[in-house]
Amino acid sequence: MSDWPADIFAALKALDVRQVAYVPDSGHARLIRLAHDDPSMRAVKLTTEEEGVALLAGAWLGGQRGVLLMQSSGVGNCINMLSLTRICRFPLLALVTMRGEHAEFNSWQVPMGAATEAALRLTDMQVVRAESPHDAGEIVQAAARMAFVGGTATAVLLSQRLVGAKVFVP
Amino acid sequence: MSAQLERRAVVAQMLAQRGDMAVVSGLGAPTYDVAAAGDHDRNFYLWGAMGGAAMIGLGLALAQPDVPVLVITGDGEMLMGLGSFATIGVQRPGNLSILILDNELYEETGAQPTHTALGVDLAAVAIGCGIADAQTIRAADSLAAFAARARRLGNAPAVAVVKIAPSSAAKALPSRDGAWIKRRMRASFGLTDA
């Protein structure tokens, strides 16, 4: 079976990502562990996702690349802070694990999950989706190049089918 | 104690011998105060992104560990980003200082009282978040000591809540071209791309 979180980690390493800001999500759990275990990366635990938008702006000011890991509910928390990204043209890279789609048991996740892609597009972020474990790493690497080399703020939505839906009730 | 300092004098004193320090200013009056003290390649002025000043300072401090980073913001802006104290308290960079100009008012929007006028103690919140070096300042000598601390590389972050008087200082308006201010600061670190 493909180890797609390790592939994403390798893509981030290849693009010299140094600050990994996150609000945890089970879909990001392995990636977060890998970031914490890597001495060349600084994993920064956030209390809310918009902190990460601001953190990574500061990181870029100081010459470091970063990535923001969150689940789709966190995108809603970021909206006003993304004006910083847009007005200053910061090359934000965000990896968003999707909730509220494929086989979602918790209906409370559906409203923000359904609005996630449109909300990101409204803030001028480019949005790409990763659906398969076989190319998730490649898609993240391409998005990271768009951000850090091209200067385009980009979000990768990691689909719930890829990440795996939580099972509360059999 | 009700002694209050004057905001422009506070900021001028903080930046008088700044050396290679980088400064992030919160939207509204703190941005005008920092501009009034003199424009600088290492000033990053916010005109929006309320609640983000301290986190921008954290990202910058982690990226440039040998450069002192000072965030200058207001009580209202800090209240919107209270969680940043917790995040900074976990990361604990020794080159990050936060100066909160606390007039206990949302002065920009009609002088409505903030939570700090009604019992909320920002220094106590910072201490509770693991930032041990946090204090409320009402006197010029304490401010001088904090200014010296902010210019040094220490072992942990420092926070000062400076009680200031309401102000009628004229607005000093720096550039609103965020992309240019960004590139200017990056160039000061020898970074040329984007």
Task: Classify residue A169: in a domain, yes or no.
Answer: no
**Residue A19 pLDDT exceeds 50:** yes
Q: What is the ipTM of this complex?
A: 0.97
Label residue A94 by pLDDT band (50, 70, 90): very high
pTM above 0.95, yes or no: yes
Does the beta carbon of A56 lie under 8 angstroms from any beta carbon of chain B? yes
Q: What is the pLDDT of residue B194?
A: 58
Task: Classify residue A167: in a domain, yes or no.
Answer: no
Strand partners, B69: B22, B96
Residues of A in Cβ contact (< 8 Å) with B61? 58, 62
Q: Which helix (H) or strand (E) holds B128?
A: helix B122-128
Q: Is B62 close to A62, i.e. CB distance below 8 A?
A: yes
A153: containing domain? 4-161
Nearest neighbour of A59 by CB, restricted to B24, B48, B62: B62
Dist CA B129 CA B4 (whole Å): 26
Average pLDDT over residues A157-169: 84
Q: Radius of gyration over alpha carbons of chain B, in Å?
A: 15
CB of A145 within 8 A of CB of A17? no
Q: Where are the domains of chain B?
A: 7-187
C-alpha distance from B139 to closest chain A C-alpha (Å): 31
CB of B101 within 8 A of CB of B33? yes
Q: Which residue of A has its CA nearest to B92?
A: A44
What residues have CB less than 8 Å from A102, skipping those under 6 apart?
Answer: A159, A160, A161, A165
**Inter-chain CB pairs, A–B, below 8 Å:** 120
Average pLDDT over residues A54-72: 98
Residues of A in Cβ contact (< 8 Å) with B183? none
Q: What is the pLDDT of residue A163?
A: 92
Q: Is B186 close to A63, i.e. CB distance below 8 A?
A: yes
Task: Classify residue A62: in a domain, yes or no.
Answer: yes
Q: pLDDT by residue (tens digit) across A122-149?
A: 999 999 999 999 999 999 999 999 999 9
Please list the pLDDT of chain B residue by residue as tens digits (194 residues): 456 899 999 999 999 999 999 999 999 999 999 999 999 999 999 999 999 999 999 999 999 999 999 999 999 999 999 999 999 999 999 999 999 999 999 998 999 999 999 999 999 999 999 999 999 999 999 999 999 999 999 999 999 999 999 988 889 999 999 999 999 999 999 998 65
**Cβ neighbours, 10 Å, residue B148:** 10
Dist CA A51 CA A54 (whole Å): 5
**E-assigned strand segments in chain B:** 22-25, 43-45, 69-74, 96-102, 105-106, 112-113, 133-137, 158-163
A100: alpha, beta or left? (left if phi > 0; alpha if psi -120 to 50):
left
Q: What is the pLDDT of residue B45?
A: 98
- CA torsion angle A78 A79 A83 A86 (round to 10): 80
Dist CA B104 CA B116 (whole Å): 5
Q: Is A88 close to B48, i.e. CB distance below 8 A?
A: no
**Residue A103 pLDDT exceeds 90:** no
Q: Residue B122 burial by CB count (10 A; 0-12/13-18/19+): exposed, middle or buried? A: buried
Mean pLDDT for all residues in chain A: 95
Residues of B in Cβ contact (< 8 Å) with A58? 24, 55-63
CATH number at residue A26: 3.40.50.970
Q: What is the count of structural domains for chain A?
A: 1
C-alpha distance from B163 to closest chain A C-alpha (Å): 26
Task: Give the domain B7-187 fold.
Answer: Rossmann fold (3.40.50)
What residues have CB less than 8 Å from B28, skipping those under 6 apart?
Answer: B74, B76, B77, B107, B108
Q: Which of B42, B87, B175, B183 to mutate to test the interface with A (most CBs of A within 10 A)?
A: B87
Q: What is the pLDDT of residue B1?
A: 47
Residues of B in Cβ contact (< 8 Å) with A50? 51-52
- Using DSSP's 3-state secondary structure scheme, residue A63 falls into coil
